């Protein structure tokens, strides 16, 4: 198999495995949590994205990894990780916590989408060997990041349960 085919197969199977794992183990746990605690757990996962700066380390990635991909991926991950850490630090100040939750999810998902765009534009699957030891990041870590961003946005944007307005309505009538 060509490096391009192997990379694409690894990426697809990475999403399948992460979705199966997330659905079986993480989603039931997240659903049982209060919304703030669930978002806090997701922020904790994303707080490790400072690790994306590794794309800039010579010797870790190959010399022919295009800088247009590596630089944006590294700093996009770094910004997302810092915003997630700020969300965790702001957990006691709820409005600030929610601001940072929205911020790290927006920055993070834009980062991943633009990284995919750059990867396609430069033909990254054919250059997958240039990822060196960072090869596991797009195959294993990025699928979990994308899944958690999508779940976080779904929970941020979904309408609240009908029980909440009813309880609030009864409280204001009393």
Contacts of 172 (CB under 8 A, 6+ apart): none
Which domain range does residue 113 map to? 3-173
The parts of the chain modelled with pLDDT lower than 50 are 162-174
Domains in the chain, number? 1
Q: What is the mean pLDDT of the chain?
A: 91
pTM of model > 0.75: yes
Contact 146, 109 (CB under 8 A): yes
For residue range 112-162, what is the model confidence (pLDDT) as tens digits? 999 999 999 999 999 999 999 999 999 999 999 999 999 999 999 987 654
Closest CA to 37 of 81, 78, 97, 82: 97
Q: What percent of the chain has pLDDT over 90?
A: 86
Contacts of 21 (CB under 8 A, 6+ apart): none
């Amino acid at each position: 198999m060509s490096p391009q085919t192997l990379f694409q197969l690894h990426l697809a199977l990475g999403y399948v495995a992460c979705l199966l794992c997330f659905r079986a183990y993480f989603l039931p746990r997240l659903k049982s949590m209060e919304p703030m605690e669930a978002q806090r757990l997701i922020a904790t996962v994303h707080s490790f994205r400072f690790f994306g700066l590794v794309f800039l380390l010579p010797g870790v990635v190959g010399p022919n990894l295009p800088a247009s991909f590596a630089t944006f991926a590294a700093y996009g991950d770094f910004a997302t990780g810092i915003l997630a850490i700020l969300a965790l630090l702001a957990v006691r100040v709820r409005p600030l916590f929610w601001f940072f939750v929205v911020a790290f999810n927006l920055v993070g998902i834009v980062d991943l989408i633009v990284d995919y765009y750059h990867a396609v534009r430069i033909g990254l699957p054919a250059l997958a060997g240039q990822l060196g030891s960072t090869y596991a990041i797009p195959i294993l870590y990025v699928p979990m990041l994308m899944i958690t961003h999508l779940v976080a946005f779904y929970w941020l944007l979904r309408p609240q349960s009908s029980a909440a307005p009813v309880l609030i309505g009864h409280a204001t009538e009393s």
